[in-house]
Copies of this chain bind each other. A is one copy, B any other.
């Protein structure tokens, strides 16, 4: 995130909150991934390369920033939940790039996992990151067991075939026409829902869980529209990945099904909903605004 690297990051409280959050997420991802030299070393190196260097870390940052709206929650619980949602996301990216899915050779400006390590290892990387996500939540001190158990339920549902990411990916392969909002809610928004709700659950903020889940869903849908727009109107050099893939593969894309202008309008409506849910401006809500603005802004407006 370009703002975060600015030397005056300490001057703006919202930027400082975001920057601290990003360091926190990286630290927890490093902590839960097996060391690259632990056997099977080739697989562990491939898992490492699938997670580092990351993208915007939007999902774990959302989890952390929601927790920061309260007392910050138990740091280990928030760290593990943040890492877990990012691991599920990284698993889905490795898999999306496979030849039988999007057949993408580049990811984050580098050769995709299956290009470097072969398809078999890439498939195992997906399985291993997925399993590690749940293992990460199961490896908590016993005092945190009850809440971690609930987070596992939340994350398995957000990942699974009926209501989660995997179900969303499967919709692309179904014979029936896809309702695009339904597709976005599963493939992308489900994990944002879980990340945001998880942040609140880590702080015991039970009354607010539904509100933050809704916030996560709106952000996820706006981000997916951003991705759709980028695939239609973006440039490969900005994005570090090829464009025009949705049209080539016949994938549902909001900016293709309607027009880019309609997609922009839909994104704006979602972000208005986000603003309403966020409420009055505080450094914490400002940090969330910054994150949301950053992750949902198309590369070419």
Measured CB to CB, the residues of A under 8 A from B are 34, 38-44, 47, 91, 95, 98, 100-101, 118-121, 123-124, 126-128, 130-132, 134-135, 138-139, 145-146, 148-149, 152-153, 156-157, 159-162, 164, 166-167, 169-171, 173-175
Known A-B contacts A135-B156, A135-B157; A166 and B95 likewise in contact (beta carbons under 8 Å) = no
> In the assembled complex, how far is the CB of residue A121 from the closest CB belonging to chain B, in whole angstroms?
5
| Closest residue on chain B to residue A158 by CB atoms | B131
User: For A123, what are the chain B residues with a Cβ–Cβ distance below 8 Å?
Assistant: 95, 98, 100-101, 123, 126
Q: Is the CB of B127 within 8 A of A138?
A: no
User: For A34, what are the chain B residues with a Cβ–Cβ distance below 8 Å?
Assistant: 161-162
CA distance A38 to B170 in the complex (A): 12
Q: A43-B166, A135-B153, A152-B152 are in contact. List 13 more A-B contacts (CB 8 A).
A: A34-B161, A40-B174, A42-B174, A43-B173, A95-B127, A100-B119, A100-B120, A124-B161, A127-B130, A128-B160, A128-B166, A134-B134, A145-B146
Partner of A152, one of B39, B43, B134, B162: B134
Q: Is the CB of B134 within 8 A of A161?
A: no
13 A/B residue pairs, CB under 8 Å, sorted by A? A34-B161, A34-B162, A40-B174, A43-B166, A95-B123, A123-B123, A128-B170, A131-B156, A131-B160, A132-B156, A132-B161, A134-B156, A139-B153
CA distance A156 to B131 in the complex (A): 6
CA distance A122 to B200 in the complex (A): 35
User: For A91, what are the chain B residues with a Cβ–Cβ distance below 8 Å?
Assistant: 127
| Closest residue on chain B to residue A149 by CB atoms | B149
User: For A101, what are the chain B residues with a Cβ–Cβ distance below 8 Å?
Assistant: 120, 123
Known A-B contacts A161-B34, A173-B118; A138 and B167 likewise in contact (beta carbons under 8 Å) = no
Q: Is the CB of B124 within 8 A of A152?
A: no
User: For A47, what are the chain B residues with a Cβ–Cβ distance below 8 Å?
Assistant: 161
> In the assembled complex, how far is the CB of residue A47 from the closest CB belonging to chain B, in whole angstroms?
7
> In the assembled complex, how far is the CB of residue A198 from the closest CB belonging to chain B, in whole angstroms?
14
| Closest residue on chain B to residue A151 by CB atoms | B138
